[in-house]
Structure 1
Amino acid sequence: MEHHNSAPVLITGGARRIGLALARSFLQRDIPVIIAYRSDYPALNELKSLGATCIQGDFSTHDGIYRFADRVRQAAPKLRAVIHNASAWLAESAEVPPEQIMAAMLQIHVYTPYLLNQLLEPCLLGQGRQAQILST
């Protein structure tokens, strides 16, 4: 299947669960994909063999988000869409203050998508249609 838009779809959290299923689906339809992953997972080898670009990213820090965005821009000057699927779940415990748990969750689920949208906006513009930004 030929696609007029060869710009890839960026999927954060693309090596597991919903992100992995989306990546496989896009790749099966010959739509290029960039996967953001935090840790090494067995599915990464499969995704690479299917043609995905896999970029490790640490979204727990602002600097990590900036470094990841730089690597995405180097890999693809244009993006078709961004799917925010990265997640973190921290169990409540007596040893960790609740505000620390909340701060870590907000970093991944709120701040990271917002900042990536800002940093990657130039890559999404000029695609001849509306940019697509999704959260799962």
Structure 2
Amino acid sequence: MSPRSNQPCLLITGVGRRIGAHLAAHFLERGFRVIGSYRKETTALRSMVERGLEAVRCELTDHDDVSYLIEQVRQRTPALRAIIHNASVWHTDAEIALTPAKADELFTVHVMAPQRITEALSALFCQDGEVSNVIFITDANIPHGKPDRMLYLASKAAAESLVRSMAKKYAPKARVNAIAPGLILFHQHDDDNYRQRRLAKRLLKFEPGPAVISRSVDYILDCPYLTGSVITVDGGKL
């Protein structure tokens, strides 16, 4: 048996940038095998491939691409310690009004593809003697609402509904939870005024960075009595 076959294996979607790239790097550092799907090649992705990331290009809105991703995971590992559904699209309602197909993209990426991937790979749960985990990355704005991103938040809320149903379906072989991030990481183009306005809406007025998400994932993986739950990581939004 090769050394890599002894490593616990994770599938993370959307590893090309930001939180997904951070999660992939974090778990590579922890000694996990990481299979990561990506949409576009990035500098961060190439760096992680050099460190051991098993990258699979997959457009989650493409049925054949998702089939290919599922088959690649089945071929590469007999067991999955976790699936982290991180891939996301961020369309405004104004964009959807101009291009209605973008609404379908929201629900496909956030709901339909994750459900299909999870079901197809559920035979790999608990195959290494450890309970598996399914983790959705959703959004802390779901209970608050946003008038300009109603469909986006509706799709993320649907993902949280999946969490509760999947928790019942896959127990006790897998625990299913969600992490709902708020402000985590500013974009480089965000100006100081925008940043200060965003921070003013929180009890904890600082930009935490993606490590708070990897710590939350670590907590879920290490907590044996947690399933069907949503962990909100938003600095106490006012």
The normalised TM-score by structure 1 is 0.87
Q: Which digits, 9 at most, give the CA deviation of each residue in 1:79-104, with x for residues without a partner? A: 1111000111234335323xx22211
Deviations 1:30-53 (CA, angstroms, capped at 9, x unpaired): 111111101111111111111111
The answer for the alignment partner of 1:102 in structure 2 is: 103
| Structure showing greater relative contact order (alpha-carbon pairs closer than 8 Å, 6 or more residues apart) | 1
Could you tell me whether the CA contact under 8 Å between 1:11 and 1:84 is conserved in 2? yes
Q: CA deviation at 1:122?
A: 1.2
Q: Which residue of 2 aligns with 1:134?
A: 135
SS of structure 2 residue aligned to 1:48: helix
- Structure 1 counterpart of 2:52, one-letter code: G
Partner of 2:125: 124
Q: 2:68 corresponds to which residue?
A: 67
State TM-score, norm by structure 2. 0.52
Q: Offset of 1:125 from its aligned partner?
A: 3.3
Distance 1:78 1:126 in 2: 5
> How far has the Cα of 1:120 moved from its partner?
0.8
Question: How does 1:10-89 map onto structure 2 within 5 Å?
Answer: 10-89=11-90
Query: Match of 2:98, SS?
Result: coil
- Please tell me the root mean square deviation across aligned C-alpha atoms, in Å: 1.9
TM-aligned CA deviation for residue 66 of structure 1: 1.3
| Aligned residue type for 2:65 | G
Contact 1:65-1:112 within 8 A present in 2 as well: yes
How many Å apart are 1:67 and its aligned residue?
A: 1.6
| Structure 1 gap ranges (5+) | none
Aligned residues: 132
Cα separation, 2, equivalents of 1:8 and 1:130? 12
Q: Is the 8 A contact 1:69 1:120 kept in 2?
A: yes
